[in-house]
Amino acid sequence: MSERPASLQRHRMQGPSGSSVTDGEVRYAPVKSLWFTGMATVAVVGGALTFSWAALAVFLATTAAVLLLGHSLGSHRKFIHDSYQCPKWLEYTLVWFGVQVGLAGPLGLLRQHELRDYAQRLPDCHDYLRHGRSFWGDAWWQLHCELHLAHPPALHIEPRLADDRFYRFLERTWMWQQVPPALLLYAAGGWAFVVWGVCARVTAGVLGHWLIGWFAHNRGGMHYEVRDAAVQGRNIPFTSLLTMGECWHNNHHAFPGSARLGLFPGEWDPGWWVLMVLRRVGLVWDLRLPAALPPRAELHACDAMADAELARHAGGAAPSADRPTLADVLGWCWRRAETGPLVGPAAHLPAGAWRNVLGHAVPFHVRPEARRLTLVVQDRRLQGLPALCVAVSRRGGAMRVLGLCLAPFAVLLENTRTAFDVT
């Protein structure tokens, strides 16, 4: 057996001598089963008897809020992976929303996640931990049963989570946390709102969590392969909005600590969009992206875009993208500042046309896997229209005037864009 990668040596879950993630028994879990079955029964029967468009709207709104704010931002990206920082009151609020999904308490959910994550990175693990059974067989296991390992690995949760009184309270009372929203919904719309806003919501959250888990380990595309892993994560593109970005599971297997899950063009990630808004108003900071994570020797690219990302992140040598000020861009355009080559995908113009625009002042390098135009100016990396303005200005004459005229619009557009996207 090959040596375990460094990423596993830093994992919360550690397997002392004699531990195993392959030897265990799947047993029926009465509480877990009755919880889901009870919620689902009330949702189906009660939902049919109390249906109204208002109740359906309550279901859609509460489910979206719980999945986005709770499961994606609170439980997963913050509580489990700590991929961004925020005030404690906001962290508590988001994690409370995560409990509203109805899967488990925060510490219980972390325990489940860490065991699966640890086991899936090993060369082999129990089918329960890798969603390795048939569709219906895995449904029974995940929704109604629990795995009891004969020799489980040890979980080490940092004291800031394990000893937190609020999280320990949520862990003891996670089922009862459905009562406060149920009372509010009853006051607002009677039993119809309770059935659709609590029972149907919990049923959709628990069932959807299993569904995405099964498909994300059995079907879908891959940008990356984690070598010597028991199972690979898969991306499920058509569910990006439904899952608030959690469907980009192959990306997540590659960069577990990244606050952004949709890493490539067209990979919609509502969770990331909300984080960008919260960062803009100063409520979150220190968002981790793949470039800030430790390199993983076991990670290999499956396509050109992923290969470019790994090359860009290796060693962290590439300068970070800047949000330019108008004064910076105008100064570079006026002075015709020295730059590196303009690099980009040549998306809408052939490379020859780009070279005609730029002349000989700035070389243009075609990289089909690149996301945007990029230009390095005095050790700062510009992207998009500001990069094009500075590059065009290098020709002098009328092109410099054009670059100066376009600069205000370019900077405004770029700063607006980066308020919602950092790449």
What tens digit of pLDDT does each residue of 58-85 get? 999 999 999 999 999 999 999 999 999 9
pLDDT score recorded for residue 343: 80
Question: Which pTM was predicted?
Answer: 0.76
Q: How far is residue 16's CA from residue 4's CA, in Å, rounded to a whole number?
A: 13
Q: How far is residue 275's CA from residue 183's CA, in Å, rounded to a whole number?
A: 30
**In degrees, to the nearest 5, what angle opens at C-alpha 141 toward C-alphas 136 and 143?**
90
Half-sphere exposure of 260 (CA within 13 A, CB side): 20
Tell how far CA 419 is from the center of its chain.
Answer: 18
Q: How far is residue 58's CA from residue 193's CA, in Å, rounded to a whole number?
A: 7
Q: Quick one: DSSP state of residue 72?
A: I
DSSP strands (E only) in 224-350:
224-226, 299-301, 342-344
pLDDT score recorded for residue 344: 74
Q: How far is residue 160's CA from residue 171's CA, in Å, rounded to a whole number?
A: 15
DSSP codes, 201-218 = HHHHHHHHHHHHHHHTTT
pLDDT higher at 158 or 347: 158
Task: Tell me if 236 sits within 8 A of 218, measured CB to CB.
Answer: no
Q: Quick check: 280 pLDDT over 60?
A: yes
How distant, in Å, are the alpha carbons of 45, 234, 263, 316, 321 from that of 275? 37, 23, 14, 23, 18
Confidence of residue 368 (pLDDT cuts 50, 70, 90): low
Q: Quick check: 370 pLDDT over 50?
A: yes
pLDDT tens for each residue of 393-418? 888 888 889 989 998 988 888 877 76
pLDDT score recorded for residue 317: 43
Segment 262-279 shows an average pLDDT of 90
Please, what is the end-to-end C-alpha distance for the chain in angstroms? 38
**In degrees, to the nearest 5, what angle opens at C-alpha 263 toward C-alphas 261 and 266?**
110
Q: Quick check: 319 pLDDT over 50?
A: no
Q: Quick one: DSSP state of residue 374?
A: E
Of the candidates 89, 93, 104, the one whose C-alpha atom is nearest the C-alpha of residue 69 is 93
Position 296, amino acid: R
Q: How far is residue 394's CA from residue 106's CA, in Å, rounded to a whole number?
A: 56
Tell me the pairing of strands 364-366 and 342-344.
Answer: parallel
Q: How far is residue 194's CA from residue 99's CA, in Å, rounded to a whole number?
A: 17
Q: Which of 91-100, 151-160, 196-205, 357-366 comes out lowest in average pLDDT?
A: 357-366
DSSP codes, 61-92 = HHHHHIIIIIIIIIIIIIIIT--SB--HHHHH
pLDDT tens for each residue of 17-32? 667 899 999 999 999 9
Task: Tell me if 219 sits within 8 A of 226, measured CB to CB.
Answer: no
* Rg of the chain on CA atoms, in Å: 25
Q: How much is the mean pLDDT over the chain?
A: 88
Tokens of 296: 């993983």
Encode 20-55: b = buried (16+ Cβ within 10 Å), e = exposed. Answer: bbbebebeebeebeebbeebbebbeebbeebeeeeb
Strand (E) or helix (H) holding 90: helix 88-99
Assign 3-state DSSP to the chain and report helix, strand, coil percentages, each to 5: 55, 10, 35
Segment 387-398 shows an average pLDDT of 87
Q: Quick check: 1 pLDDT over 70?
A: no
Q: Quick check: 354 pLDDT over 80?
A: no
Q: How far is residue 218's CA from residue 249's CA, in Å, rounded to a whole number?
A: 11
SS3 319: coil
Q: Quick check: 346 pLDDT over 70?
A: no
pLDDT higher at 264 or 180: 180
Segment 359-381 shows an average pLDDT of 74
Q: Of all residues in the chain, what percent carry a pLDDT higher than 70? A: 90
pLDDT tens for each residue of 207-264? 999 999 999 999 999 999 999 899 999 999 989 999 999 999 999 999 999 999 998 8
Q: How far is residue 326's CA from residue 328's CA, in Å, rounded to a whole number?
A: 5
